[in-house]
Amino acid sequence: MAKTKGLGKGLGSIFGDDLETVLEDIQSGPQRQEGKVEIPVSEVRANPYQPRKKFDDSKINELAESIREHGVFTPILVRKSFQGYELIAGERRLRASKLAKKETIPAIVMEFSDQEMMEIAILENIQREDLNAIEEANGYNNLIERLGYTQEECAKRVGKSREYVANLLRLLKLPRSIQQLITENKISMGHARPLITLDDEGMAYDIACRIVEEGLSVREVERLVKAAKEKQPEKVEKKTHDYSYVVGVMENRLQTKVKVDNKQIVIKYSGTEDLNRILELINCIEE
C-alpha cells in the first residue's frame, strides 16, 4: 500500500501559512492519484485529537446525498494505526459516507506523529473557522497539556497572540452549563468573559440565562456582573493561631508528640506502659 510521507518539508514549514490549502493540495494534487487507495469505511476512526465536537447535520445530509449519487471525489487523509486507520482530514466526507451506507472510501495514507496529528486537527479547524470558542480553547489546552507548550509557544503555533490564547483558555474556568451555552452559540465570548470573574457559579449562570432570554449586550452584562460582585460578601480569612509554644511546652513535659489544633489536644503514646506514665505526669492516676 502506497504511503505519502508527511507534507514534504515537514509541518514546521507550514505553520503560519494556509494549512487548509496545503491539505487540499495533497488531496487534489498529483499525490491524489499516485497515493490514493480504497479503504473500508468501518476501519477509519475519527482523529483522536479532533477538537470540533459539533457538526452541521443539514450539511452532512446534503453531502451524503451527493456521495450516494456521485461518490467521493476528494480522498480523505489517514494514517495507519494498530487497528485500521485514524483520520487526519476529511471528517465531513467520512461522516457523510457512513450516512450514505458506503462500504469503502478513497484515501491517501500519510505518516504523521501524534504531535503532528494534534496540530493538524487544531490548525485545520481554526483556519476554516469551524470551531466555537470552547472547542478552540480545548484545542489549545490539549497542545499545552499533552505537548508541554507554554501559552506563548501555543500562540505562535496557531498564529494568534498570546493574549488571545490566554483569554480563550480562561473560558474553561466557567461552569459546564455556561460553556454549553457558548458551544451552542447562545452567548458570545464577549458576554462570557465578565462571568469568569464571579465566584458564585449560580449567580454566573443566572446572568448567562438572562443574556439568552433578554438579548443583553456585553456592556449590560458587565454592569450586571459589577453589581453582583458588590453584593457578594467579602471573604473573611480564617485566623490561624500559632500553638507552637504550647506544643513545645507540653512535648517537653510529657516527652511525647503533641498536637494542638481545632480546639483539641492530641497526645501520642506508644503503649499501656507509656500511657500510664503520661497519666501519672498529668496527675490522672489515683493513689
Taking 70 as the pLDDT cut, the residues of the chain under it are: 1-35, 49-54, 122-130, 232-241, 285-287
263-286 pLDDT, tens digit each: 788 888 877 877 888 888 887 765
Please give the CATH number for the structural domain made up of 11-131.
3.90.1530.30
119-160 pLDDT, tens digit each: 777 666 665 556 788 888 887 887 788 777 888 888 887 778
pLDDT at 7: 41
Distance CA 138, CA 131 (A): 10
Distance CA 225, CA 210 (A): 12
pTM to 2 decimal places: 0.53
The grid coordinates of residue 79 equal 494514517
pLDDT at 287: 52
Distance CA 270, CA 133 (A): 60
**Amino acid identity at 199:** D
Nearest to 221 by CA among 198, 241, 244: 198
pLDDT at 233: 57
Q: Which residues contact 219 (CB under 8 A, 6 or more apart)?
A: none
Q: Which of 86, 91, 124, 135 is catalytic?
A: 91
pLDDT at 23: 58
Known catalytic residue at 111? no
Torsion of CA 26, 29, 33, 39, to 10 degrees: 30
Pinpoint the residues of the chain covered by CATH 3.90.1530.30.
Answer: 11-131
**Amino acid identity at 228:** A
Nearest to 133 by CA among 194, 178, 90: 178
Question: Half-sphere exposure (CA, 13 Å, Cβ side) for 271?
Answer: 1
pLDDT at 105: 92
Distance CA 106, CA 110 (A): 13
